[in-house]
Chains A and B, each alone.
Chain A
């Protein structure tokens, strides 16, 4: 026995206003709304979320960069100032000792009879110290005091150290002392490193 199903007779009513099919337009409007909502949900919203996140990260990175850049500039200025203020000391540490120059300098205070170099050894991590034994004649202890005072403005870093021997010889005093000259281990490498900045 065959069951005959009747086709449902659904008919969309055709409503027209001034010749415009209202139902069809409503259908298209609904389609447009669906497409818009889908686009917002699937395309625009995730993009905005991602954009906001990356923008936030960018501004954070930029803020950090500005902070670090300011700090760098500040440190650089401080370093420049420090170099300027201590130029005399820094240059003095870079110079190699010149015995003739020292003789000229010391001749204002004493008559040098001999200077004997007694080896160089490392001092701390970055310095070298060279020991010299100096024999000289002075007129009075004041010459020795003046010599020590003048070392402050001398182009080399020189330390007067023990043993010191004062011996009367006629009207003069024979003075034997130990000098230590300090300089940088590798001034050229340091200069190159500084130029890199």
Chain B
């Protein structure tokens, strides 16, 4: 027996409306979760990359700082050497000044030779006593060994050669 219906047949959807809505909602949520995770991964990667770059830059700067410090040290070395040379020049000047101040009035200086550890003085003295009293004591106080040679002149005065030695370690050349 055939059954007839008064209602027209409707197409039955595979999924109901609310099911569709749920599936779309869940899919979108899932995509959003993955996107967020991906976004964080990308950010992490970028941070990692920048960290590496910063680390390399820091390392380069550290090397540069070492170089700059070396340059600074070298400038200090040059400055110290310059100052040392200027001080030594002043010491030479002072030593010559002191030597000339040492010569008493009655004694005439003809020549002197000064080296690191010796001083040789040539001069004329009216008497040996004048030399021995006025010039010898200061020389003896400075030098460890003093040898004096006298040569009598026709007028009765004496030419003398005074050799003075000091045993100090040669402080030569700022070396």
Contact = CB atoms under 8 A, between A and B. Distances in A.
Contacts, number: 187
Task: Pick the 9 closest A-B CB pairs, nearest first.
Answer: A39-B33, A47-B40, A28-B22, A43-B37, A54-B47, A61-B54, A167-B111, A58-B47, A163-B115
Contacts of B175: 123-124
Given A36-B33, A47-B40, A58-B47, 17 more contacts: A39-B29, A39-B30, A39-B33, A65-B57, A68-B61, A82-B72, A89-B78, A123-B175, A145-B97, A148-B89, A149-B93, A158-B85, A159-B88, A160-B93, A164-B114, A165-B112, A193-B67
A152 interface: yes
Interface of A: 20-21, 24-25, 28, 31-32, 35-36, 39-40, 43-44, 47-48, 50-51, 53-55, 57-58, 61-62, 64-65, 68-69, 71-72, 75-76, 78-79, 82-83, 86, 89-90, 92-93, 123-124, 126-127, 129, 141, 144-145, 148-149, 151-152, 157-168, 180, 182, 190, 193-194, 197
B111 A165 contact: yes
B65 A71 contact: yes
Interface string B43-68: 11001101100110110011011011
Contact of B82 (A24, A32, A157): A157
- Specify the main secondary structure of chain B where it touches its partner: helix
Interface in B96-124: 96-97, 100, 109-116
Contacts of B67: 193, 197
Contacts of B88: 159, 161
Contact of B58 (A68, A124, A161, A166): A68
Interface residues of B, number: 60
Contacts of A162: 92, 114-116
B91 to A, nearest CB: 10
